Amino acid sequence: MMANGRGRLRIPKIPVRTVVIHAIAWGIGLLWLFPFLGVFMTSIRPVTEILNGWWVTNPFNPTLQNFQTAFTDPTTPMWRGLRNSFIVAIPSTFLPIFIASLGAYGFARFRFPMRDYLFLTIVLFMAIPQQMVAIPIFVTMINAGLWDTFLGVILVHTAWALPWILLFMRNFFQTLPLEVEEAARVDGASDFRIFYKIVLPMSLPALAAVAVLQFMWVWNDFFFAKVLLFSSQNLVATQLVPLLSEAGPFHKDQGILSAASIVVMIVPIIVFATMQRYYIRGMIGWTIKG
Amino acid sequence: MSAKGERAKRSLSSSFQPYLRVIFFVPATVLLIFLVVYPALQTLLLSFYHPPGAFARLDNYGSVLGNRQTIDTSDWSIPYGTLVNNFLWIAIHLPLSLFTGLYLALTLQKVRGASIVKSFIFLGMVTPMIVGGIILRFLFDEKSGIVPRAFGLLGISGLAIQWTAYPETLLFGLIFGSVWLWVGFSLIVYSAGLTTIPRDYFEAAQMDGASAWQTFRKVTWPLLRPTTLTVVTMTILWELKLFDIVFAATNPNGGVGGAADVLALQMFRYAFMAGNFNDAAVVATLLTGLTLLVSTWMFKRIIIGKGKNAGRLERALRRLWARAKPQGSVLKA
Amino acid sequence: MLVVVVVALLLVTNVATGLAVYYLAPATPAPTVQPLRVIGPWSASEKDKFLPVLNLFKNTTGINYEYITTRQEDLQSLLPNWFAARRAPADLIFMPSSFVKTYGTQGHAADLAGTVSESNYAAGALDPLKDGSKIYGGAYTGKVKPGFWYRQSFFAAHNYQVPTTWTGFEALLRQIETDGSVNNTPIISGDGVGWPLSDVVEHFLATYGGPDMNKQIMAKTLPWTSTSVHDVFANYLVRTLTPGVVCVASCWSAPRQWDTGVAEWWKGDYALYFMGSWITGMVTPNSDIRVMPLPGGVNPSGVVFAADYFFVPTYASRLNDAKRLAAFLGSSAAQQLQVTVGGHIATVTGVPLSAYPAVDARIAANLTGKVILSDLDDTIGGTFQGTFWTQLQALWANPSNLNAVLTNIQAAMPP
């Protein structure tokens, strides 16, 4: 409440328009959240309670039983899925970043014939869908003995990430001022030294953005995992969820399925919540040519 | 711009250890060639052969494209075939998610707590799409799903059914459900795009007495063109590559009567369930052809800068990029 | 100098990743001196029922085994690649008959004609695996799809009688509906990927079209679009699916996940459930469970008997021991032991009815006088199966589309 100079209180009028806009915006926001709320509710209640709809609140007996079963089930335990997802995602994040940064620096700073055309070609690889490489990779991995191994999946994810990280990091490197690097060169530093002593430290925000995006992309991936990982011990989290949902030997009820879904979702959500600035920057940045 | 650009074009002036520079490229090149380029070419080659190894020219393309699973124009009823489904998805999903995201971005500019609302909406993008598909499947369940129940409450008993059991409701349910999942992308990118438009434009329009709609049409929309381009391209690519959602919401066969079958799912089925690598390669090649078409169109506009407003596009995008600095969250913009 | 450091860094990161992956990843079993490897689709409780039989084999022959659960859908795509590399992941693998025969004729499955003897088996059990004089695999126990299951107590409580004619069946459905004795449709449609619906259809065909109809369809001599097949659909099944004809709405529920459906049906939400004989092991007390085949129809009618087929890959590392296991699985000793736990029906002769639990004995007894048919979609296999299932789901959703459905199914038949 504001007081004007004469000491009388004046209540500011809130225009109807603002109220309406706020109502619409928040309404839509809550509407969008609603299905996730449903998943959450289904996961913390015994399945018998939600068979007629999770919004039925009578009876309401919250329990962590679903999570427990999802985690510890002997044939498809989520703890193993999570572990495997980390085993795949972490190297698949750091390896391509390292490899692509090297190449991106080369594209940004070195001059050689056909450089830009080569770069464009590599960037166009981003447009290829996973399906285009799946069959030969499947056969190659079997022949190399890498099928159904984590190393195989990691290599594939690494190679797959290279085009977009190359694009992203090259654009970024090009925005860095040349003077610092030139000064170092005058001092007699080699290319590698300049790269990792000077350029990389300056690039940490961009690298963070790339890491966040890549980690989430690999974590959420299903197709490559489905093609390349097969025995129960090796399945990643995203593969376990559809297994639990299909009628058959691994079938679980909706409550356990919801708990498992939340377990899989929670990791990228946490990553997003903590690193969202980097995530947003990465998402917008990688479509731009510097 | 010109001085900076010139500097960017110059490379580091030195021929110091030129041969060692190759090492910068070696790991990337090796991986790319063995795991991306060569396999892609192999798949392309596969599509031209029959299983025992006989050269088939375009026969496989004929049989796949003529197959009802791919294009079914025998009648006007679902299933329409995978190729048609993907295009249908684009036709419905693209405008819906784009304009909903745009509307929300515009509206949320003036709303308190906008960043929280944006996080709610963006949740769908962060979720693995396989989980998204499962969520959709149960969203439409007759007994425990919100959507049939909501329609029942509204009195539309025709839709208070098990959506996944009927071809029409399955296909359109999944399309609308995927809008729910993908709107976050459009919202975030447009939000960032809106911040790149200088305030002066709006103030000038206001002083000229322009209405909200006129401002939007003459000022906002044209200046958002690069953003729109990005959203359109990424969304179309996503719609072409649909796999996880349909797989999780239905089954590898695309649901009731194959109503929600899509190209990527068809490829998976041919290759890894029927063992027919050659037809799968055909589907994959078709899919890649479409995605390449879309991508080159976009890259041409943005990277090479063809088409009018090319320079403006680049500058606008550069502003966009600069805006998304870590110091400020775009969600809070 | 720094070059060396960077290269070393590269090496270290890669080695570290490799080591991490190696130690954190589960070890694959060493390829030397391995036990006899058996791959089957059963896990959890079903697996527990199978292991005693393998144990009996181990005790009598001294051969140690290792059983691995793998889904058959996964094996469908993987095994061809193993075969192309002239290797196999196990010494004995359970797969559908269409798979065994296809790959057997290509030389990847060992000919077991000298190992399993047809005389041991009930008539026709090994037919789907035969090619001339060669038999590419063997048959283990199987499950029958005998008809609609119901609770005896439920029928008694509402005074329902098992119908003996089709009109009686329709009348029963109408009665259940008018009585309101269940909260839903009289019949529950099981689903999942779709095979429960195909079981229903095969039963209708075998009863009202006769076992020859199933056989001719499987032999591809009778198209789905022919009048006889169309009429079986139109005059029987579709009548119950179309709202307003027999029941006010459809007599069938919208397809539900078949395993949760068992609980719902047993609870009383539905009256009738078409399922396979494994359902007897899924409900308690199973003294209450009964089954009624579709009444009337061609005499003798057919009953679909889905046996679990297995084969021995030609690349098995322990070929002879695997053949011994194959012979054992095709013996009455093994199958008798298996049926005692319930839910299985023997494919070999020589297993007395007394070995079965009561409810299974009734089912086995019911088989006499009927023609044994193999599972239609399993026998045809390939891409047909998936389309078959989804088209049937479409038929359930829209029964008036019968002609389109039959056309689509016929179009999916392999040449």
pLDDT digits (tens, 9 = 90+) for C100-127: 998 998 889 999 888 888 888 887 788 8
Q: For residue B57, give how far its alpha carbon lies from the nearest alpha carbon of chain A (Å).
A: 19
Of A87, A196, A253, the CB nearest to C25: A87
Stretch 69-88 of chain B: residues touching chain C, C-beta under 8 Å? 69, 74-75, 77, 79
pLDDT at B315: 59
pLDDT at A6: 59
User: What is the rounded CA–CA span in Å between residue B127 and residue B178?
Assistant: 12
List Cβ neighbours of B186 (8 Å cut-off, separation of 6 or more): B97, B98, B100, B101, B102, B105, B231, B235
Is residue C250 located within the same domain as residue C160?
yes
**Which of the pair, B325 or A18, is modelled with greater confidence?**
A18
Confidence of residue C382 (pLDDT cuts 50, 70, 90): confident
* Residue A246 forms contact with C (CB below 8 Å): yes
Which member of A122, A136, A284 has the closest CB to residue B324? A284
Task: Choose the final residue of a domain: A42, A63, A84.
Answer: A63
> What DSSP character marks residue C28?
P
Instruction: Say yes or no for a CB contact (<8 Å) between C193 and B167.
Output: no
Place of tokens 């259940």: C176
Predicted confidence at residue B21, as pLDDT, reads 80
Among residues C40, C61, C36, the alpha carbon closest in space to that of C334 is found at: C61
Cβ-nearest to C24 among A75, A87, A251: A87
C-beta of residue C93 within 8 angstroms of C-beta of residue C75: yes
- Judged by CB atoms closer than 8 Å, whether chains meet at A150 and C25 is answered as yes
Instruction: Give contacts of A 57-96 with B, CB under 8 A.
Output: none
Look at residue A290 and tell me if it is in a domain: no
The listed range with the strongest mean pLDDT (A7-16, A124-133, A186-195, C191-200) is A124-133
Residues A210, A133 within the same domain: yes
C182 and C223 belong to one structural domain:
yes
Write out the two tokens for C398. Answer: 């829209």
- B147 lies in some domain: yes
Report the alpha-carbon distance of residue A287 to residue B312 in Å, rounded.
16
Instruction: Output phi, psi for B148, to 5 deg.
Output: -60, -35
> Does some domain include residue C233?
yes
Per the structure, the complete domain to which residue A83 belongs is given by: 72-285
Find the domain containing C178 and state its range: 147-292+381-412
Structural domains counted in chain B: 1
In terms of domains, do A206 and A249 share one? Answer: yes
Taking CA atoms, what residue in B is nearest to A289?
Answer: B303
Residues C287, C310, single domain; the answer is no
Pick B319 or C276 by higher pLDDT: C276
Tell me which residue range forms the domain holding B161: 58-332
- Give the best residue of A41, A138, A284 to mutate against chain B (max B CB count within 10 A): A284
Q: Which comes out higher in pLDDT, residue B77 or A254?
A: A254
Average pLDDT over chain A, rounded to an integer: 85
Q: Using the predicted structure, report yes or no on whether residue C36 has a pLDDT greater than 80.
A: yes
Q: How far apart are CA B262 and CA B69, in angstroms?
A: 9
ipTM summary value = 0.85
Quickly list DSSP for C220-286: TSS-TTSHHHHHHIIIIIHHHHSTTTSSSS-SBPPPEEHHHHHHHHHHTS-SEEEE-GGGGGTSSST
Q: What integer pLDDT is reported at residue A1 of this predicted model?
A: 47
pLDDT value at residue B209: 78
CA-CA distance, C36 to C310, in Å (whole number)? 15
Task: List CB contacts (< 8 A) between A137 and chain B.
Answer: 35, 39
- Specify whether C288 is located in the same domain as C355: no
Query: Is residue C9 domain-resident?
Result: no
What torsion, rounded to 10 degrees, do the Cα atoms B174, B175, B176, B178 define? 80
- Six token digits for residue B249: 């919401």
- C-alpha C340/C-alpha A17 separation (Å) is 75
Cα–Cα distance, C83 to C17 (Å, whole number)? 32
> If DSSP states are collapsed to H, E and C, what string results for A190-256?
CHHHHHHHHHHHHCHHHHHHHHHHHHHHHHHCCHHHHHHCCCHHHCCHHHHHHHHHCCCCCCCCHHH
Question: Does a structural domain hold residue C397?
Answer: yes
Which chain C residue has the Cα nearest residue A143? C85
Residues of C whose CB is below 8 A from A74: 44
Q: Is residue A153 domain-resident? A: yes
State residue B203's pLDDT score.
81
Same domain, C343 and C398: no
A178 and A41, same structural domain? no
Domain identity same for C196 and C279: yes
Pair C400, C323 in one domain: no
Can you spell out the DSSP letters for B7-27? Answer: HHHS-----SSTGGGHHHHHH
Give the orientation angle of helix A150-175 with respect to helix A115-124, to 10 degrees: 130
Q: Which residues of C touch B274 (CB under 8 A)?
A: 76, 382-383
- Name every residue whose Cβ is closer than 8 Å to that of residue B250 and which is 6 or more positions away in sequence: B137, B164, B170, B174, B256, B260
The answer as to whether C388 is a domain residue is yes
Whether C252 and C282 share a structural domain? yes
* Contact between B252 and C386 using a beta-carbon 8 Å cutoff: yes
Q: Is residue C11 part of a domain?
A: no
Tell whether C44 is within 8 A of chain A (Cβ).
yes
User: Is C274 in the same domain as C398?
Assistant: yes
Contact of C97 with chain B, judged by CB distance below 8 Å, is answered with no
Number of domains in chain C: 2
CA distance B279 to chain A (A): 11
CB proximity C319 to B under 8 Å: no
* A109–B128 C-beta distance less than 8 A: no
Question: Is C309 in a helix, a strand, or coil?
Answer: strand
Gap from B89 CA to chain C (nearest CA, Å): 20
Question: pLDDT by residue (tens digit) across C226-239?
Answer: 999 999 999 999 99
- Indicate yes or no: CB of A51 within 8 angstroms of CB of B144: yes
pLDDT: which is higher, A190 or B269: B269
User: What is the per-residue pLDDT for B325?
Assistant: 47
* A94/C247 Cα distance (integer angstroms): 62
Q: Best-predicted range by mean pLDDT among C40-49, C229-238, C334-343?
A: C229-238
- Please, which residues have CB within 8 angstroms of residue C257's CB and are 6 or more apart in sequence? A247, A251, C190, C191, C192
CATH of the domain at B305: 1.10.3720.10
Residues A79 and A59 in one domain: no
Q: What is the DSSP letter of C121?
A: B
Closest partner residue to B269 (CB to CB) among C255, C386, C398 is: C386
Q: How confident is the model at residue C377 (pLDDT cuts 50, 70, 90)?
A: confident
Q: Which residue has the higher pLDDT, C296 or A129?
A: A129
Considering only residues C175 and C43, tell me which one the structure prediction assigns the higher pLDDT. Answer: C175
Determine contact, residues A123/A290, Cβ cutoff 8 Å.
no
Please report, for the domain that includes residue A214, its CATH number: 1.10.3720.10
Q: Is the peptide bond before A59 cis (omega within 30 degrees of 0)?
A: yes
> Per the domain annotation, does B52 fall within a domain?
no
Q: Work out how many CB contacts closer than 8 A connect A with C.
A: 76
Nearest to A243 by CA among A228, A233, A255, A257: A257
pLDDT digits (tens, 9 = 90+) for A58-94: 778 888 888 988 888 877 889 999 999 999 999 999 9
For position B7, what pLDDT does the model report? 44
CB crowding B269-293: b at 16 or more within 10 Å, else e? bbbbbbbbbbbbbbbbbbbbebbbe
Q: Can you give the CATH number for the domain in which C341 is found?
A: 3.40.190.10
Interface check B51 vs A, CB under 8 A: no
| Number of structural domains chain A divides into | 2
Same domain assignment for residues C359 and C341: yes
Find out whether A234 and C25 touch, Cβ atoms under 8 Å.
Answer: yes
Residue with tokens 């002593």: A197
Q: Compute CA distances A92 → C234, C358, C409, whole Å.
A: 56, 57, 44
Q: How many Cβ contacts (< 8 angstroms) between chains A and B?
A: 320
Q: What is the mean pLDDT of residues A105-115?
A: 86
Using CB atoms, pick whichever of A109, A242, A287 lies closest to residue B248: A242
Q: Would you give the DSSP letter of residue C348? A: B
- Give the model's pLDDT for residue C3: 57
pLDDT at position B309: 45
Q: Is C194 exposed, middle or buried (0-12, 13-18, 19+ CB in 10 A)?
A: buried
Would you call C173 exposed, middle or buried from its count of C-beta atoms within 10 A (0-12, 13-18, 19+)? buried
**For residue C176, with 0-12 CB atoms within 10 Å meaning exposed, 13-18 middle and 19 or more buried, which class applies?**
buried
Task: Clarify whether residues A32 and A130 are in a common domain.
Answer: no
| Tens digits of residue pLDDT in A192-208 | 888 888 888 888 888 98
Residue A192 lies in a domain: yes
Interval A166-180 mean pLDDT:
86
**Residues of chain B falling short of pLDDT 70:** 1-18, 302-333
Q: Considering the domain boundaries, does residue C199 fall inside one?
A: yes
Q: Radius of gyration (Cα) for chain A, nearest Å? A: 25
